Amino acid sequence: MNAFKLAGLTLVVYLTGCAALAPQPQAGAGAGTDTGPASQRPAAALAGPSRSENSPAKDTRITKTPITSAPASKPLLPADWVSDAEAAKQPSSRAITTLSPPKDIWERIRRGFAMPDLDNDLVHDREQWYSTRPDYIYRMTDRSKKYLFYIVEELELRGMPTELALLPFVESAFNPQAVSTAKAAGMWQFMPATGRTFELKQNVFRDDRRDVLASTRAALDYLQRLYVQFGDWHLALAAYNWGEGNVGKAITRNQRNGLNTGFEDLNAPMETRMYVPKLQAIKNIVASPVQFNSRLPLIENHPYFQSVDISRDIDVALAAKLAEVPLEDFRALNPSVNKPVIMAAGTPQILLPWDNAEIFQSNLEAYSGARLASWTVWIAPTTMRAADAARKVGMGEAEFRNINNIPLHMLIRQGSALLVPRAAHGEQDVTSKVADNGQVTLAPEIVVKKNFVRLTRGTSVAAIAQRYKVSAANVAQWNNVRVNAGFKAKQTIVLFLPQSNLPHAQAPTLAPAPMPAGAAKPASRIPYQSAAKPVAKPVLKSVAKPAVKQAIKPPVKPAQKATNKALPPPKQKANAVPLKK
């Protein structure tokens, strides 16, 4: 009996094990059940199945694979990246392509192209222009190797087309020190006002329009805003070049006239009409350099630089030396610094080549020099000449003017922040208020001001010109008369006379010129106004004093009529000696 019980128990255990090893049927399409394709699953499912500590190790690395069926004019979103395993399960209608890592930055840029192509005569013209200058293309693209990886990374993080990484080729040829005739500066060519709108600081010590990180952030912010506003990348690029207000007016004008409102339909200036074709031509060359007789330098698909924090002011030359980087390369990575010193309060980070960042930190810790910075900032206590300021801080005038960019015949206004040598044992760094807001305000030493002079007697144009040391032609032009003309008595004339812009106590005294016959006295001096900005021709009335006339004796009263009465004799003094008869 016990044998039968044991056999029955063994059979139950065997059947239970077989049931556990049998494949489980799929659940029905009930609530909370995922039976659809991978594209319909929640985003969390795209990360792959979870793995316990005891499960065998599997390759679950996620490879960024863009969904190529996204609209060409829309930016790719970061949420569209899926793993290789999940991409293989996507339906064929999604046209998912599994991509291996790009071999260089150019291939990575090509894979991210998402803007619609432009094909017209202007594009072909720019293609021909670039293709006949292969050396220029190579130099320009070689210059971009320091910045391209960072820009492409930022574009992909924002889901923007990678064609925009080529825009600095059009704007500045990837020169962060470029300045246009319209005062646009930096790799992305920001105008001063637009730079301030996007929080790019501009002062005497640094210009963030040239900063690699700050200007790229601002440019992508601006381009994103323009794309949202116009809904088209070509129009967004036109607005980046021409201004969003101008593009908006052109679109409104076309709508009012019943015309199309695409980029090629707008009546824009030639510079803007060539702007997008230039970018398209560079895109075509990057896509197929051999076709356009061009070659692209090898730019690896990895970061070129990394940022390093600094806590003390440091000379630019010393920072480059500690990083073991050529000074030219250091300035190319930190182009926003305008002076030979980096102020930690305003620029707390510097960019260094990837392999040199650790070298810099090590050398900085081991540095035993007296000081890191040999320059500091001095605030001008009053308006003064450059020579006087240089003497106060112990510098030569030429060196002082050069380091602070002060032209000849210019005064330094009170409150200007000037770079001067730091004391031998000076340890205090420049404050954040000065580092972020320091400015140098200049004024001309001599300004020309308008004076009104009233003549007391007639004189000639030549006589007035000689008296006030100006040309007769100018006097005639100011008063709308001929050079050989004359002025009448009591006539008011106009003279533009030079006057010192220094405070009255510092103004040099000039000996008056001899006054020719018939000329009026000069206008009185105009007091110095320290807060006013010098104007070429301000209207200041000062009427000359009338000429001094000769003293005229009072009229003599008529003699009294003779009378028969004799006049009394004059009284004599008491002690006077009587006159002899």
pLDDT in tens, 215-242: 999 999 999 999 999 999 999 999 999 9
| Dmax (CA) of the chain | 201
Cα separation, 102 vs 108, whole angstroms: 5
pLDDT in tens, 18-29: 444 444 444 333
pLDDT in tens, 190-217: 999 999 999 999 999 999 999 999 999 9
Q: How confident is the model at residue 569 (pLDDT cuts 50, 70, 90)?
A: low
| Residue 562, pLDDT above cutoff 70 | no
What is the pLDDT at residue 535? Answer: 39
The helix (H) or strand (E) run that includes residue 375 is strand 375-379
Q: Which residue has the tokens 């006077």?
A: 576
What is the pLDDT at residue 42? Answer: 36
Burial category of 395 from C-beta neighbours within 10 Å (exposed 0-12, middle 13-18, buried 19 and up): buried
| Residue 163: closest CA among 228, 237, 273, 217 | 237
CA distances from 468 to 439, 444, 471 (A): 37, 21, 9
One-letter amino acid at 413 equals R
| Residue 393: closest CA among 376, 373, 372 | 376
What is the pLDDT at residue 83? Answer: 39
pLDDT in tens, 249-261: 999 999 999 999 9
Sign of the torsion angle spanned by Cα atoms 480, 484, 490, 496? positive
Higher pLDDT, 574 or 445: 445
pLDDT in tens, 506-556: 443 333 334 444 444 444 333 333 333 343 443 334 444 444 444 444 444
In the chain, what are the domains? 63-100 (no CATH), 105-292 (1.10.530.10), 305-366 (no CATH), 375-443 (no CATH), 445-545 (no CATH)
CB under 8 Å, gap of 24 or more: what pairs does 130-134 form?
Answer: 130/281, 130/282, 130/285, 130/292, 130/294, 131/285, 131/292, 131/293, 131/294, 132/293, 134/293, 134/294, 134/295
What is the pLDDT at residue 8? Answer: 53
> In this structure, what are the phi and psi dihedrals at residue 304, rounded to the nearest 5 degrees?
-95, -35
Cα radius of gyration rounded to whole Å, the chain: 42
| Residue 98, pLDDT above cutoff 70 | no
Q: What percent of the chain has pLDDT over 70?
A: 70
Give the number of other CB atoms < 10 A from CB of residue 200: 25
Cα separation, 179 vs 185, whole angstroms: 4
What is the pLDDT at residue 537? Answer: 41
Higher pLDDT, 146 or 13: 146
pLDDT in tens, 42-78: 333 333 333 333 333 333 333 333 333 333 333 443 3
pLDDT in tens, 323-335: 999 999 999 999 9
What is the pLDDT at residue 268? Answer: 97
pLDDT in tens, 430-486: 999 999 999 999 999 888 889 999 998 899 999 999 999 999 999 999 999 999 999
Q: Which residues are catalytic?
A: 171
pLDDT in tens, 369-426: 778 999 999 999 999 999 999 999 999 999 999 999 999 999 999 999 999 999 877 7
pLDDT in tens, 289-344: 999 989 999 999 999 999 999 999 999 999 999 999 999 999 999 999 999 999 99
Cα separation, 335 vs 186, whole angstroms: 8
Mean pLDDT of the chain: 78
Q: What is the DSSP letter of 399?
A: H
Q: What is the three-class DSSP state of 78? A: helix
What is the pLDDT at residue 500? Answer: 81
What is the pLDDT at residue 99? Answer: 64
